[in-house]
Amino acid sequence: MNGNSHLRRRTLLAAAAGVVAAPFAAGPAFAAAPKVYIDPGHGGTDPGAVANGLQEKTLTLNIALQTRDILKASYSVDVRMSRTTDITRSLAYRTDDANAWGAAIFVSIHINAGGGTGFESYRYPGTTGTTQRLHSLIHSNVLSNMRSVASVTDRGQKTSNLHVLRESNMPAVLTENLFIDTVANANLLKRADFITATARGHARGIAAFLGL
Ligand SMILES: [Zn+2]
């Protein structure tokens, strides 16, 4: 079902209920777009992991910006980011900002390090239900879109007591998109098509969760 027919139906229902439709915008007046918070890991004075000529902060920003652009081009969503340029943000800033904005979901994007290979993702320990559903949809969509470009190991859906997962007031997921210090993974992270596929996976997982 596309957005236009939903919009049209809401407008008709509102008209039937005697609500005067605002002349400037039928849609947002009746149903606000879901608020998606995207958090590109690190930035500014904190490069994150660095190896093979790559910096984590640059990769996370590229993936996050493309995720935002795909979401906004394809769906009716409101997207806010913890940063859109190479600036320093504390962990507290990131969750305070998302909480104050009233985000519906929080998605943090990172690159792994430590000598492994593949993709893994995290939610807060003990979370089930809605958070687990968001986690599962993002994980499966990112993995399948990565695998449209190259073979990628599935390291699984995990839990961890991370600040952004613990201090965010909404369902939150953190992705670790391959290992910057593993040459084969780094070679994928240097490819524009792989970065775009990774972003598309995030966008599709978010859209699936929100029912867009
Ligand atoms: Zn990181």
As beta bridge partners, residue 46 has 43
The predicted pLDDT at position 107 comes to 98
Calculate how far, in angstroms, residue 118's C-alpha sits from the geometric centre of ligand 1. Answer: 15
Q: Is the pLDDT of residue 19 over 70?
A: no
Same-domain check for residues 75 and 107: yes
Q: Give me the catalytic one of 56, 120, 167, 176.
A: 176
Structure tokens belonging to residue 38: 């995207």
| 106-116 pLDDT per residue, tens | 999 999 999 99
Banded pLDDT at 14 (limits 50, 70, 90): very low
Q: Are 204 and 134 in contact, with CB atoms under 8 Å apart?
A: no
Same domain (yes/no): 102, 23: no
So what's the pLDDT on residue 206?
98
Query: Distance between CA atoms of 77 and 81, rounded to whole angstroms?
Result: 13
Report CA(70)–ligand 1 centroid distance (Å). Answer: 22
> What pLDDT does residue 31 have?
72
Report the C-alpha gap between 198 and 196 in whole angstroms. 5
Same domain for 85 and 125, yes or no, is yes
Residue 85 neighbours by CB distance under 10 Å: 10
Q: Give the model confidence (pLDDT) of 57-90 as tens digits.
A: 999 999 999 999 999 999 999 999 999 999 999 9
Residue 174 backbone class (left: φ over 0; alpha: ψ -120 to 50; beta: rest): beta
Tokens found for residue 78? 């409101």
Do 55 and 21 reside in the same domain of the chain?
no
Q: Is pLDDT at 10 greater than 80 in this prediction? A: no
In this structure, the answer to whether residues 4 and 63 fall within a common structural domain is: no
The answer to whether 109 touches 41, Cβ cutoff 8 Å, is yes
Distance 47 CA to ligand 1 centre (A): 9
For residue 96, the enclosing domain spans 34-210
Structural domains counted in the chain: 2
Based on the domain organization, do 3 and 40 belong to the same domain? no
Q: pLDDT tens digit string along 27-39? A: 445 678 999 999 9
Both tokens assigned to 174: 């953190």
Q: Quick one: 22 and 78 in the same domain?
A: no
Structure tokens at 32: 């606000």
The mean of the pLDDT values for the chain is: 90
Same domain, 176 and 148: yes
Q: How far is residue 97's CA from residue 164's CA, in Å, rounded to a whole number?
A: 11
- Show the CA angle centred on residue 55, arms to residues 63 and 69, nearest 5°: 15
Question: For the segment 141-196, what is each residue's pLDDT rounded down to a tens digit?
Answer: 999 999 999 999 999 999 999 999 999 999 999 999 999 999 999 999 999 999 99
Can you give the CATH number for the domain in which 58 is found? 3.40.630.40
Phi, then psi, of 140 in degrees rounded to 5? -65, -40
Q: Are residues 104 and 203 in the same domain?
A: yes
Q: CA 105 from chain center: how many Å? A: 8
SS3 124: coil
Name the residue with tokens 């972003």: 199
pLDDT at position 32, please?
A: 87
**Do 179 and 138 fall into the same domain?**
yes
Note whether 3 and 92 are same-domain residues. no
- Do 84 and 167 lie in one domain? The reply is yes
Would you state the structure tokens that stand for residue 204, as one six-digit string?
């599709």
Annotated catalytic residue 120: no
111 CA from centroid of ligand 1 (Å)? 6
